[in-house]
Each structure stands twice: as C-alpha cells, then as structure tokens.
Amino acid sequence: MAIDYSIIIPAYNEEALLARTISHLQEAMATISLTGEIIVCDNNSTDRTAAIARKAGAFVIFEGINQISRARNSGAKVAKGRYLVFVDADTLVPAALLHKALDNLKSGQCCGGGATITEEAKIPVLAKAVVGYWNIISRTLGLAAGCFVYARRDDFESCGGFSEKVYATEEIWFSMALKGRARKHKRQFRIITKPKVVTSGRKLVWYSYSYQSILLLLICLFPYLTRFKWLCAYWYKRPEQ
C-alpha cells in the first residue's frame, strides 16, 4: 500500500506521554482519506519509549546521537510519504489541523509551514503571555514551532532537512530555509492559525520565568549559542520530578 504522508515523532525518554500522542494522531488519521504512517525516532532513550511506541502501533527506528534535529532527519530518511509532518512527543494534533496541513501540501501552492500553539497544562500568567507573543511572531514572521512542522518531501530534502549544526531552534532555521525555497518557486509557507496544535506546556511549568527569559534573550542575541549542547540543557534535561 502506498503511503501518502508520514508523521515523524522524535522521542527521548517520552514513556509518560508518547502513547497518548500516538493514539490521538491515529484518531485524527482515521478521518483522512490519504494513507499515513507514524514513525517514532527513539533518540537513545533510557526508558520504555521504544517499547511503548511499538505497542501503540508506530514504526520505531533508533538514533544513537541525542540531538533533536538529527532525530527528525533520521525519521524523515525512512519515511515513505511524499508529505512529512513533524510532531513532538508531548503534542496533540487536532484532526482539523492535520487536514489543513495536508490540504495545503496537496494544493501544490504550499511547500510547508507550521501552526500556532496552545498549552494543555495550566501555566503561570506570564508564561501564557509568552505563548501568545510567540503566536504573534509565528504568524507575522512565518516561523513554525517545533511541535508541529509540515513540508513536502522534495522541499524538505532540497532544504537539507533540519540543521544538525544546532541542538535547538532547528525549526527556526528550517522555516527560514523553506520560506526561501517557497519564494524562489512562487509558493507559500503557511502558518495555520486555527485550530491550534496543543502542546503539554511542561517546560513552562518546570522552569522559572526568569530562567526562560534569560535563555530566550541570549539565544535571540547570540543564536549560534545553540551549536553547543551544554547550553541547550533546557531542551535535553528535565528537573527532578
């Protein structure tokens, strides 16, 4: 059976939320006439991530180097679909959002894009304001959030996939590369505003507002700091629960 689209989930120690993410995706995929697949890239997990993904019905591959961009790219390499959708392991994708993303790609007028986000968890007021501010930036500048990125395979490959020079913000660099290709070929990069993709918002709860603000400021001023993994612990380490 030919695969039309592939949903790729990079996962590092995601046993707590991964099964729900996959189940939610499967429900959304059941409403779509195109044939899809779910690929989980186990990014050197030390928990039951891979076993849970297999039990849930996903195709699982292994990437031994713990790097988000590399895990995304590894999933794309084995994907069979001509359309690619990248989803984080703590993210819920509404069926209507998946429909819109695939319709955009099928139209031939869109090379890819992202979606505005909303958080599932109850988060502090200031953190909620940050999410709202990001959505404004995303819509205005055309930047996809990492929890939901979609693209045509040929455009993804022409852009070189996600940059493996960085350990975070790979979705920003990819968005800029994909927008450049869209302009060159007179197509569009589309941020879907409704419905929003639902992220757990866990980092907004785990880390203090001051820490996240300082980190964001440093990355905005010195984006090449993301080339150093030890400076990107926010994306790779979790506080003791």
User: Does pLDDT of 144 surpass 60?
Assistant: yes
Q: For residue 223, is the peptide bond before it cis, meaning its omega torsion is within 30 degrees of 0?
A: no
Is residue 154 classed as helix, strand or coil in its secondary structure? Answer: helix
User: Does pLDDT of 111 surpass 80?
Assistant: yes
pLDDT tens per residue, range 186-196: 999 999 999 99
Give me the pLDDT at residue 58, please.
98
Give me the pLDDT at residue 240, please.
66
pLDDT tens per residue, range 48-60: 999 999 999 999 9
pLDDT tens per residue, range 78-100: 999 999 999 999 999 999 999 99
Q: What is the DSSP letter of 167?
A: S
Q: Which phi-psi region, left, alpha or beta, contains residue 41 (left: φ > 0; alpha: ψ -120 to 50)?
A: beta
Mean pLDDT, the chain, whole residue set = 94
What type of residue sits at position 41?
C
Single pTM value for the model = 0.95
Query: Contact, 148 vs 87, CB < 8 A?
Result: yes
Give me the pLDDT at residue 212, please.
83
